Structure 1
Amino acid sequence: MYWWPTRHSCEVWSLCGACGSPSTIRSVSRRRRPSRLRCMKKRSSSGRCIIDHRVKNNLQIVSSLLSLQASYIQDAHIHEMFLERQSRVQSMTLIHEALFQSEDMGHIDFGEYVRALTRQLFQSYGIQAERITLQICAEAISLHINKAIPCGLILNELVSNALKHAFPAGRSGHLAIQLRANAGQRVSLIVRDNGIGIPAGLDFRSTESLGLQLVCMLADQLEGTLVLDREGGTTFTLTFAP
């Protein structure tokens, strides 16, 4: 409880000639409470910004270490494994960078994230724009970090798989990514390519590919559905509640 004395403008004279002014004491707790709440919110927001910034910096350090280690590896298969791990770390780094810049703490514009991550993957794999054309149609959909991280990792795996396997031997092609809001408060993330496609006899849910295993696990974590369409290439559709 906070109390504050308040003086009045009138004067009071006693019979003996002494002069004084009356005062009252009022509680100002209610006045102070909103300012205290604003201060607490400001400190909380500032603290979360610092945490996100530090997490982002730490992830960047991990990514740099993986890149440095990969540069010393001669075996092509092991080298690719290091690059895959680096891309997964970078996908999470982008989310924390978006959180640090976001006015709505805890949420990011996932449409902007889709564009940023895809551009980064094209650069990482050295894809020339004239060989594999890219089309992105992503709505501005706000996702909480608890949804954005698994969804971002799924996007990273699906785009990486398309860039590595859909267009072998320098084959040209097209990659399309769509993010849209559906009826019933559902969101769909669609990754489509017109490459050689996944073999008809391969069950992507029980494959030995670590990337697809991770995609299935994260889709379950999102309590979403993951559908594969093999017509005209490969199309993965992830649908979940934001």
Structure 2
Amino acid sequence: MDLPQPPVSAHPPEAAPSFRTPRLEAAIGWLAACGLVFLASVAVMVGVQSRERALANAQDRAQAAVRVLAEHAARLFDAADLLVEYAAQETAGRGWDEIAGSHALWERLNSQRTRLPFLDAVWLNDPSGQLRLTTVAFPSPVSDASDREMFLFHKDNPDRPYISERIVGRVTNKASFLLSRRLSAPDGSFRGMASVTVDPAYLSGFYKDLELSYEPVTLMIRIQDLGVLVREPEANPLAPAPLPEAARRALLARPGGGIMQDDSMIFAHRRVENWPVYVAVQHDVAPVLDAWRRSIAPYAGLTAAAALALLALSAFGFQQAKAARRVQSRLESRVRERTASLELALGERDAALAEKDLLMREVNHRIKNSLQVVSGLLTLQGQSAADPRLRAHLDEAGRRVQAISDIHRLLYRIDDVRFIPFHDYLTALCRDLERSAQSDGGGWRLELAVEAVDVPTDQAVPLGLIANELVMNAIKHAYPDRGSVGGSGPHAIAVGLARDASGEIRLTVSDRGVGLPSEFDWRRSRSLGMRLIHALSTQLGATLAIEPGEPGTRFALRMPLARPA
């Protein structure tokens, strides 16, 4: 790009005189003197500003460090709290003697604990403070925490996590601090305490590996009493040195976080999100100033030699700045034009996506209406059929069509059409079948135990048909005496839906009826329902198992979840 040329004066320059006057030399001298004064002033100003920048940069690095430390601490405490909640869930509903004697529970807790290298152990104390289970050893050694600060806190306060002061464990004889939660009985009364011990040595090692600038002291501080939980480096790990008074004032003045600097120290701190803990970085001002002096030393000798060059360079810089402003103005104009075109394109894209979503909802709504019409026609046709078997077949076909229609009804209502809230669908399906069975006579009751599970749409329709067939088979065949209401009491059918740790869906349908004949093979059954179940299970890659009960039968389907397209 050609730079704009300066305007040419309309007046021709005057002819220069053929001799020098004294005023010219004086002007050059004054200009040189002024240049030296100016250069000295600039040197002093630059020196002061660079010193302030060095200190500001040290503050920025300290604040960046405490942000990283706070995020790291938040993740560690969240993970530790999950383990505490897991321990609380595992012990819910169990007596303390059962907890203390359960080696299987001990192994599960220890297995979870080993996944978190910053944790030493899991502890479970009963309402009296006695240690009943710990991953340190099985059976648990004798220990009493009734006088500990965190135990007294949980005894009189609602369930919320608590971080203790730094202590030396009575069982481990190691310096640590605890993250704990209250265990409550169903009536809300105090049932005990679950806690984990955090290893300060792990945190010290992490802080040491960060290799922060100016060799700072890295701290983790408890908010309640401003007690030091972790200090790196630390001469005495069992008794960390207390905070300086200036640091304590900074924490009290800005509880959320901030930075403080005095003549000898820079102190940056930040509160860990959702936890009563600060992380802080503290280092002396002297190393910062030493580094600043080393950085400006090479430039001190060049200052005098650069005096005349600075004058020429300043003029050249102004010219270049003027040209750069022109270029920048042109670029900003182009950026505004490009931004406007992009906003227009994004608006058109959003409108297209909204139209597509509307069309998808309309399609699902129409499909649902059409399937309901088909289901209604099959039901009406069945009611008018004279042959009972034909009437039953048409009624079953209508219910199968209705099961598919319910899927599209959900698709019409939800935002993400890639997944179906299958627990809602299964609950509605079972309630419809229950009402239908009750209307035909007999004391029916469907017991539901369903967890919240989202199933890809491609799998939801076959899985819904399988659930419909299994429940209908139980209604039709499990209780031959279903015609008499008072004969054997309510006819119960249990339906369960859950997702296990491997990510597979488990669907179960069980009854307490007469059970299946010993020679029954569902894979070779000529029943349309069982053939449909077999075909749909194969399509889903699912496994179906029939487990005989005493009494009754239990169908268990395990299905891996597919990724939506």
TM-score w.r.t. structure 1 length? 0.86
**Match of 1:234?**
553
**Cα distance in 1 for residues equivalent to 2:440 and 2:501:** 37
Structure 1 stretches of at least 4 aligned residues deviating more than 4 Å after TM superposition:
127-130
Is residue 423 of structure 2 the alignment partner of residue 108 of structure 1? no
Q: CA RMSD in A?
A: 2.0
**Cα distance in 2 for residues equivalent to 1:199 and 1:132:** 23
Equivalent residue of 2:522, what SS?
Answer: coil
Is residue 543 of structure 2 the alignment partner of residue 225 of structure 1? yes
Q: Deviations over 1:176-223 (max 9, x none)?
A: 111001121111011111111111101011011110110011011111
**Cα distance in 2 for residues equivalent to 1:65 and 1:129:** 23
The answer to whether the Cα contact below 8 Å between 1:176 and 1:192 also exists between their aligned partners in 2 is yes
Equivalent residue of 1:74, what SS?
Answer: coil
Q: Equivalent residues in 2 for 1:132-171 (5 A)?
A: 132-170=444-482, 171=488
Equivalent residue of 1:126, what SS?
Answer: helix
- The amino acid across from 1:239 in the alignment is R
**Cα distance in 1 for residues equivalent to 2:537 and 2:548:** 19
**Cα distance in 2 for residues equivalent to 1:169 and 1:188:** 30
Structure showing greater Rg: 2
Compare 154-163 and 98-107 and name the one that shifted more. 98-107
**Match of 1:58?**
370
Shift of 1:37: 2.2
**Cα distance in 2 for residues equivalent to 1:162 and 1:127:** 16
**Match of 2:431?**
119
The answer to whether the Cα contact below 8 Å between 2:541 and 2:559 also exists between their aligned partners in 1 is yes
Equivalent residue of 1:178, what SS?
Answer: strand
**Cα distance in 2 for residues equivalent to 1:140 and 1:34:** 35
The answer to whether the Cα contact below 8 Å between 2:438 and 2:444 also exists between their aligned partners in 1 is no
**Match of 1:17?**
none
Shift of 1:121: 1.1
**Cα distance in 2 for residues equivalent to 1:125 and 1:65:** 20
**Match of 1:182?**
500
**Cα distance in 2 for residues equivalent to 1:87 and 1:226:** 22
**Unmatched 5+ residue regions in structure 2?**
1-329, 483-487
**Cα distance in 2 for residues equivalent to 1:49 and 1:85:** 26
**Cα distance in 2 for residues equivalent to 1:78 and 1:174:** 27
Q: Percent identity?
A: 33
- The amino acid across from 1:240 in the alignment is M
**Match of 1:12?**
none
- The amino acid across from 2:495 in the alignment is I
Shift of 1:241: 1.6
The answer to whether the Cα contact below 8 Å between 2:437 and 2:444 also exists between their aligned partners in 1 is no
**Cα distance in 2 for residues equivalent to 1:141 and 1:109:** 6
Is residue 369 of structure 2 the alignment partner of residue 67 of structure 1? no
- The amino acid across from 1:68 in the alignment is L
Determine which structure has greater relative contact order: mean sequence separation of CA pairs < 8 Å that are 6+ residues apart, divided by chain length: 1
Equivalent residue of 1:125, what SS?
Answer: helix
CA pair 130-85 structure 1, distance change in 2 beyond 3 A: closer
Shift of 1:127: 5.3
Equivalent residue of 1:200, what SS?
Answer: coil
Shift of 1:128: 7.9
**Cα distance in 1 for residues equivalent to 2:425 and 2:441:** 20
**Cα distance in 2 for residues equivalent to 1:150 and 1:157:** 11
Shift of 1:46: 0.6
Shift of 1:129: 9.8
**Cα distance in 2 for residues equivalent to 1:47 and 1:76:** 42
**Match of 1:194?**
512
Compare 74-83 and 125-134 and name the one that shifted more. 125-134
- The amino acid across from 2:370 in the alignment is N
- The amino acid across from 2:557 in the alignment is L
Q: Deviations over 1:91-123 (max 9, x none)?
A: 011111111111222322100111100111122
User: For this pair of structures, how many residues does the alignment match?
Assistant: 221
The answer to whether the Cα contact below 8 Å between 1:45 and 1:105 also exists between their aligned partners in 2 is no
- The amino acid across from 1:168 in the alignment is P
CA pair 67-166 structure 1, distance change in 2 beyond 3 A: same
**Cα distance in 2 for residues equivalent to 1:115 and 1:129:** 21
**Unmatched 5+ residue regions in structure 1?**
1-21
The answer to whether the Cα contact below 8 Å between 2:442 and 2:491 also exists between their aligned partners in 1 is no
